Amino acid sequence: MGWFELTACPGHVPSLAEQWGRLAAWRRLAKDLPPGVDPWARDHLDELVAGEARAIELVAGGHLVHTDLHSLNILVADDGARVVDWAWSRRGNPAVDTAFLILRLIAAGHEPDAAERWAEAVLCWQGTPAATRTAFAIAIWGIWQLLERDHPLPHRAALTAAARAWALHRLDQRDQDPTGGDQG
pLDDT digits (tens, 9 = 90+) for 106-115: 999 999 999 9
Q: How far apart (Å, rounded) are the C-alpha atoms in residues 172 and 83?
A: 33
Q: List for the chain the helix, strand, coil content (%; round to 5).
A: 60, 10, 35
Q: How far apart (Å, rounded) are the C-alpha atoms in residues 171 and 147?
A: 22
When pLDDT is cut at 50, 70 and 90, the band that residue 10 belongs to is low
When pLDDT is cut at 50, 70 and 90, the band that residue 154 belongs to is very high
